[in-house]
Amino acid sequence: MSKLILMVFLVLSIAFLLFSSSIYADDAVYIKKPVAYDANLQKEGRLVWQKNNCHVCHQLYGLGGFLGPDLTNVAEKGYNYMDTFLKVGVNSMPIFNLTKEEKLHLFEFLKATNASGSANPKDYKILMDGMIVQK
């Protein structure tokens, strides 16, 4: 009887090790967009984001207000794109009179969210083993 328990334990241990190593060997899970951003400046940028309540109207990863679009990956459109929206304002987005420094920090924050992945659910697929990876 104790031999059987030992066998079951052994088989489960081996299965666990094989499964774990196959997951950690899978690069796809860890591939992130190689976008460089300054880690310290992006922290400042997050404060600008919070102070100005951007999240009241915008989402990051689908979380936030729904008056404006999700901004997780808006950095891909470039600094000037963001700058224009802040300067001019549109429809229900007010004009934000931010300093050049605040805007640079804010953009660094948006670059960081962009580098962390995509907010579009269609950019992901579910693998056979249940892992979710970015396409």
Rounded Cα gap, residues 121 and 44, in angstroms: 28
Report, in Å, the least distance between residue 92 CB and ligand HEC.
Answer: 4
Q: Does the footprint of ligand HEC cover residue 99 (CB under 6 A)?
A: no
Site for ligand HEC in 28-67 (CB under 6 A): 52-54, 56-58, 67
Under 8 Å between Cβ of 108 and 43: no
Number of residues located near ligand HEC, criterion CB under 6 A: 20
Q: Is 115 in the site for ligand HEC (CB under 6 A)?
A: no
Burial of 114 (C-beta count, 10 Å sphere; 0-12/13-18/19+): buried
Q: What is the CA radius of gyration of the chain?
A: 22
CB of 135 to ligand HEC, least distance (A): 21
Q: Does 74 engage in binding with ligand HEC (CB under 6 A)?
A: yes
Per CB under 6 A, 118 contacts ligand HEC? no
Helix-helix angle 100-115:79-88, to 10 degrees = 130
Residues 31 and 115 sit within 8 Å (Cβ to Cβ): no
Shortest Å, Cβ 104 to ligand HEC = 12
CB of 72 to ligand HEC, least distance (A): 10
